C-alpha cells in the first residue's frame, strides 16, 4: 500500500497520541482535556491560527500552503468524543474513566488528523488553505451543527469539507465510499399510553395501557412493511417498554415506549412521523385510552456530493489501489450538517477484523494510521496542487 513515507516514520508518535486519548475518554461536549491537547499540538506544529471554543469545545486550526494563487480553502474534520460504555478490551492503555470509552474510534480519527496536520505544517506543499476541524459531541450531541451554527464555514471561508470514519470488517487501510445518501437520518419517539389502572383480577374495570402499548409495538412495524415504498430504506425500532407499576397483580395506569426511526429519504421521514402519530392515536381510541406522542428529529440524512465523492475515491485508489462502493448505513452521522453547508464527502477506512463500533471490546486499529493520514494529506495536495 503506497502510503506517504513520512507517516510510516510518524506512526509510533501518532499511535502514542491515539492511545493517550483512548486512555482518557471524554463524552459529548466535555472534551476539555482532548480539546486542549489538540490545540497545544496544532500550535506546536506551527498552524497560523488555532481557535478553541467553536461549537462549545471544538477546535479549529488553519494551515497555509506555500502559495495561495488558487484561493481554495478545504476543511478536514475529525470527531473527538467517546461513548458512555464500560471498556472490556483488556489493553494496557484502556480507559481510566469508569463508564466511558472510545468505542467508535474517534481517538483514532483525532490522532490521524493531527498526524496529517503535522505533515501539512511541515511541507506546505499545496496552493491554498487547510482548515482542520476537531469536533466534539458527534455521539448524539450534534456538535457538528453547533460548530456550523457558530459560523465556522463562513469565518474561515471553507469551500469543501471532508470526513473519515474507521470501519471494522474492511481490511486495514482499504477504503469505501458512496455518492448521495450514505448515513441515515436518526429520529426518536417517546410515546405514553394512559388508561385506567386497577386490579389484574378485574380487567373489565380497567383500560389496559399494557395492551395498548403492546399493540403499538407490533403495529409500528407496519410503517415499514405496509406504508413505505419497499425500495426506500426505513427502520422503526421500539427499544424501551416501561410500565408505571411493577406489581404482578396490577394493571398499570400508564405505559411508556421509546425508540428510534432511521430513514434515507425526506419523504419517508415525514411519512414515519405522521404514521407513528396516527397509529398510536388509533390504538388508544380503540381501547378507550389516551396517548401522548413525542417525535424528535435528530441528525439529517448524510449526503455525499458527487464530484467530491469521486475525487475522494480517486485519492483512496491512489493509496490503496482500490476503493469499494460502500453500503448504505442506517446509523447516523452529524457530519451531515457540514455537508448541508458545503459540498464534500465522507469516506470509510478499514479497521480490520475487530469488534464492531459501539461494542465494549472495540478498539481502533493503529495499523490504519498511515493510510488514514495519507488520505487526508493527499486530499489537500491533489485538490490544491502546489503552484509551479
C-alpha cell at 359: 461494542
- Joined together, the cell numbers standing for residue 15 give 499511535
Cβ proximity of 298 and 188 under 8 Å? yes
Phi-psi region of 143 (alpha: psi -120 to 50; beta: other; left: phi over 0): alpha
**Residue 174 annotated as part of some ligand binding site:** no
Query: How wide is the angle at C-alpha 360 spanned by C-alphas 329 and 178, nearest 5°?
Result: 15
CB atoms within 10 A of CB 54: 24
Four-residue CA torsion sign, 325, 330, 331, 334 = positive
The answer to the question of whether 199 is labelled as a binding residue is no
- Across 189-210, b (16+ Cβ under 10 Å) vs e yields bebbbbbebbebeeeeebbbbb
Query: DSSP of 321-372, one letter per residue?
Result: S-EEEPPPB-S--THHHHHHHS-EEEEEEEEES-PPTTSTT----GGGHHHH
Q: Which three cell numbers stand for residue 372?
A: 488514514
Cell 409500528 belongs to which residue?
220
Annotated ligand binding at 280? The verdict is: no
The answer to whether 139 is a known ligand-binding residue is yes
Residue 358, annotated as binding a ligand: yes
Strands 49-54 and 58-64: antiparallel
CB-based contacts of 146: which residues, under 8 Å, 6+ apart?
29, 55, 56, 58, 137
Which positions make up the binding site? 104, 106, 139, 165, 358
Which positions make up the binding site for Mn(2+)? 104, 106, 139, 165, 358
Amino acid at each position: 500500500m503506497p502510503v506517504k513515507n513520512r507517516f510510516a516514520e510518524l506512526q509510533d508518535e501518532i499511535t502514542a497520541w491515539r492511545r493517550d486519548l483512548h486512555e482518557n475518554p471524554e463524552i459529548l461536549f466535555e472534551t476539555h482535556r482532548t480539546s486542549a491537547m489538540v490545540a497545544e499540538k496544532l500550535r506546536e506544529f506551527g498552524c497560523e491560527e488555532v481557535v478553541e471554543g467553536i461549537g462549545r469545545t471544538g477546535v479549529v486550526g488553519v494551515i497555509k500552503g506555500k502559495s495561495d494563487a488558487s484561493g481554495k480553502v478545504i476543511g478536514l474534520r475529525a470527531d473527538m468524543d467517546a461513548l458512555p460504555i464500560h471498556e472490556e478490551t483488556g489493553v494496557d492503555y484502556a480507559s481510566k474513566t469508569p463508564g466511558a470509552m472510545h468505542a467508535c474510534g474517534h481517538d483514532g480519527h483525532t490522532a490521524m488528523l493531527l498526524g496529517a496536520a503535522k505533515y501539512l505544517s511541515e511541507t506546505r506543499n499545496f496552493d491554498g488553505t487547510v482548515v482542520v476541524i476537531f469536533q466534539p459531541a458527534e455521539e448524539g450531541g450534534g456538535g457538528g451543527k453547533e460548530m456550523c451554527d457558530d459560523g465556522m464555514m463562513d469565518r474561515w471561508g471553507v469551500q469543501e469539507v471532508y470526513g473519515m470514519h474507521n470501519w471494522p470488517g474492511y481490511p486495514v487501510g482499504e477504503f469505501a465510499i458512496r455518492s448521495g445518501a450514505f448515513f441515515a437520518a436518526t429520529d426518536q419517539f417517546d410515546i405514553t399510553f394512559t388508561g385506567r389502572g386497577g386490579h389484574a383480577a378485574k380487567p373489565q374495570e380497567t383500560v389496559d395501557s399494557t395492551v395498548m402499548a403492546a399493540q403499538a409495538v407490533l403495529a409500528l412495524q407496519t410503517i415499514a412493511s405496509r406504508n413505505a415504498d419497499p425500495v426506500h430504506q426505513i427502520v422503526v425500532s421500539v427499544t424501551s417498554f416501561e410500565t408505571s407499576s411493577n406489581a404482578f397483580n396490577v394493571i398499570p395506569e400508564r405505559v411508556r415506549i421509546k425508540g428510534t426511526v432511521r430513514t434515507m429519504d425526506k419523504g419517508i421521514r415525514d411519512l414515519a412521523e405522521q404514521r407513528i402519530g396516527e397509529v398510536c392515536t388509533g390504538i388508544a381510541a380503540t381501547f378507550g385510552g389516551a396517548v401522548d406522542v413525542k417525535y424528535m428529529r435528530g441528525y439529517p440524512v448524510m449526503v455525499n456530493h458527487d464530484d467530491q465523492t469521486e475525487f475522494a475515491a480517486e485519492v483512496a485508489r491512489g493509496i490503496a489501489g482500490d476503493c469499494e462502493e460502500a453500503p448504505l448505513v442506517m446509523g447516523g452521522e452529524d457530519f451531515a450538517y457540514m455537508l448541508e453547508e458545503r459540498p464534500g464527502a465522507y469516506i470509510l477506512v478499514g479497521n480490520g477484523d475487530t469488534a464492531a463500533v459501539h461494542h465494549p471490546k472495540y478498539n481502533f486499529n493503529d495499523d490504519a494510521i498511515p493510510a488514514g493520514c495519507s488520505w487526508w494529506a493527499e486530499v489537500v495536495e491533489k485538490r490544491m496542487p502546489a503552484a509551479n
